[in-house]
Chains A and B, each alone.
Chain A
């Protein structure tokens, strides 16, 4: 059985996060049709009702849109996708910063540490 979800948090939210990431990574492009509720349910071993709720959640954020009789599609509205990308970035950064601060690192240490890390990583990749 898949362990992609934590069972102590709502699955519909976790699935929504997962799909947002797929959109940002480009695995799902603007205008792409999402798999049916049942296909997605089967793919991640989750109740189709839960998947339906995820699709509704994403729809209320205007990230996807449902066209009657055709299915659910990733939005082609670039401004929505841009703000999604921004929002996910800020969320990842704030998680990282909170963890560092919890361990007692100062803002300078965090900033320098990140700069150095990216610099070294850039060199090894080059």
Chain B
């Protein structure tokens, strides 16, 4: 369970988030959508404890968020943050050394699913395979919360498809809550439980996706086009 209560984040004079209230329940895949600069990445970083709110309070499973929250939160950055001289196998070993809950067996299972070679050096991996490796590393932890910042961004359709299939296969939806920021809504249309739209630092909509279809006969893309106007 993640709760944000009246969360405001300022960078200098710019408000990145403005009095955001959210309650996210476990066992769901939730999409956070919005334009560039709307506050999506800031929201994720605040939940991951990588940044502090200017005002308000964030809790993960009842625990107030600070740097130590990394114990219960797996965070996939939008950037490529890794040691380029590592092989895929060494990266997995490194993650295993950093996080007690990292499951190496699961990592190799996902690795196989993603058709990655453990002996390839990261600096020689294609962008698509680096994207796949990031998924391997963030899904291999036994944590209640997984945050993914733009996991599909800038990747070709085949890679995006394999990542979506990886999510379906390896997220433990009985225990985990996954929050994904994305522009690639069409790809995720059928795999999201809930969608949250954010604009200029404010939440402008939060819906169960099947309910959106059932009650409003609309899909996520059309709904967004609607509320963004």
| Chain A residues at the B interface, C-beta cutoff of 8 Å | 1-2, 5, 7-12, 38, 41-42, 45-50, 53
- Residues of B close to A1: CB separation below 8 A: 157, 161, 164, 186-187, 190
Cα–Cα distance between A111 and B161 once the two chains are bound (Å): 47
Q: Which of B156-184 contact A (CB under 8 A)?
A: 157, 161, 164-165, 168-169, 173
- Residues of A close to B218: CB separation below 8 A: 8
Taking a contact as CB atoms closer than 8 A, the residue among A10, A45, A53 that contacts B191 in the complex is A45
| Number of B residues, CB within 8 Å of A | 26
Cα–Cα distance between A25 and B195 once the two chains are bound (Å): 36
Instruction: Report the 6 A-B pairs with minimum CB-CB distance, sorted nearest first.
Output: A7-B219, A47-B191, A10-B214, A10-B213, A41-B168, A10-B210
B104 at the interface (CB under 8 A from A): no
B23 at the interface (CB under 8 A from A): no
Q: Which of B136-174 contact A (CB under 8 A)?
A: 157, 161, 164-165, 168-169, 173
Q: Which residue of B lies closest to A51 (CB)?
A: B168
- Residues of B close to A5: CB separation below 8 A: 190
Please state if A49 and B193 are interface contacts (CB–CB under 8 Å): yes
Please state if B193 and A45 are interface contacts (CB–CB under 8 Å): no
Q: Which of B174-229 contact A (CB under 8 A)?
A: 186-187, 189-193, 210, 213-214, 217-222
A and B contact pairs by CB, cutoff 8 A, 17 listed: A1-B164, A2-B190, A7-B213, A7-B221, A8-B218, A9-B214, A9-B217, A42-B165, A46-B190, A47-B29, A47-B173, A47-B193, A49-B27, A49-B29, A49-B173, A49-B193, A50-B190
Q: A45-B164, A47-B168 are in contact. List 5 more A-B contacts (CB 8 A).
A: A1-B164, A1-B187, A7-B189, A10-B210, A48-B168
